[in-house]
């Protein structure tokens, strides 16, 4: 382990970026897995011909990303990075640029169109009861049923993410607020949207579809429900 045979010395400049990339490459090429030990700072410093300070900073980065951790008496070992935790730390809405928000909003539409099979597969009695409560509360407190209400949107759609039983999607719930706010800020007149024809698909209708429909019927209903958002994203008939 102490010769690091698959890693070659850097040319000259010892940027932490380069060393970090080398460390990641080393882990990959040596097929290191969670629990495996990582060679010591000093060995990397010698092999790469850079100072220990630089290697230490690169190690610190990998620790920050949760790729390695220090264990007593064992030095540094590889871990399974908690990608969702890291994702969360970065996702303060005030820090996200408008391009990222637009991408996330599109992702939201894609996920909600695509998650139907998982909802039908994993739905439980308890889930459906909670969804019923969310929809009933919404109806009791809404004067205008077509009106866009941020907190009610998040309650209903957030519950769907949770019902997918997929950890990545569940984390996406935390993103719902900034993503919904993006809609609100950019299109305050969403309530004036006129559907191309026929009836609006409400949260209750989506819920009933989830009770007695199929993934195919649910996708059609969801697309109808999301129509104003799709049209907005695609710049169609925005008033």
Of the residues 4, 78, 177, 190, which one makes contact with its own copies according to CB under 8 A = 78
- 198 makes contact with its own copies (CB under 8 A): no
Burial (0-12, 13-18, 19+ Cβ within 10 Å), 89:
exposed
Residue found by looking up tokens 């935390």 in the block: 174
Task: Enumerate residues 6+ apart whose C-beta is below 8 A from 227.
Answer: 195, 196
Query: DSSP string covering 88-114, please?
Result: HHH--GGGS-HHHHHHHHHHHHHHHHH
As a whole number of Å, the end-to-end CA separation of the chain is 66
CB of 141 to its own copies, least distance (A): 29
- 190 makes contact with its own copies (CB under 8 A): no
x/- contact string, 215-234, with its own copies (CB under 8 A)? xx--xx--x------x---x
- 37 makes contact with its own copies (CB under 8 A): no
CB of 123 to its own copies, least distance (A): 13
Residue 188 CA to residue 127 CA, distance in Å, equals 32
DSSP state of 226: T
Of the residues 40, 81, 190, 205, which one makes contact with its own copies according to CB under 8 A = 81
Residue found by looking up tokens 């649910």 in the block: 218
Binding site for its own copies (CB under 8 A): 24, 27-28, 31-34, 57, 60-61, 64-67, 78-81, 83, 86-87, 89-92, 94-97, 99-100, 103-104, 106-107, 109-118, 121, 164, 166-169, 215-216, 219-220, 223, 230, 234
């Amino acid at each position: 382990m102490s010769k690091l045979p698959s890693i070659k010395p850097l040319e000259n400049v010892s940027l932490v970026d380069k060393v970090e990339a080398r460390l990641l490459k080393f882990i990959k090429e040596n097929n290191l897995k969670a629990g495996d030990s990582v060679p010591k700072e000093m060995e990397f410093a010698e092999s790469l011909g850079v100072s220990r300070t630089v290697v230490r900073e690169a190690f610190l980065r990998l620790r920050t990303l949760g790729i390695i951790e220090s264990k007593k008496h064992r030095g540094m070992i590889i871990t399974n990075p908690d990608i969702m935790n890291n994702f969360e730390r970065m996702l303060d809405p005030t820090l996200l640029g408008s391009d990222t928000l637009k991408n996330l909003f599109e992702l939201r539409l894609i996920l909600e169109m695509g998650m139907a099979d998982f909802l039908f597969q994993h739905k439980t009695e308890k889930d459906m009861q909670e969804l019923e409560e969310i929809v009933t509360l919404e109806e009791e407190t809404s004067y205008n049923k077509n009106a866009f209400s941020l907190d009610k949107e998040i309650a209903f759609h957030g519950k769907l993410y949770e019902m997918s039983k997929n950890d990545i999607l569940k984390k996406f719930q935390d993103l719902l607020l900034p993503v919904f706010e993006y809609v609100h800020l950019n299109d305050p007149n969403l309530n004036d949207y006129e559907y191309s024809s026929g009836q609006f698909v409400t949260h209750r209708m989506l819920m009933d579809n989830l009770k007695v429909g199929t993934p195919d019927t649910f996708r059609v209903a969801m697309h109808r429900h999301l129509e104003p958002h799709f049209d907005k994203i695609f710049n169609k008939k925005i008033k």
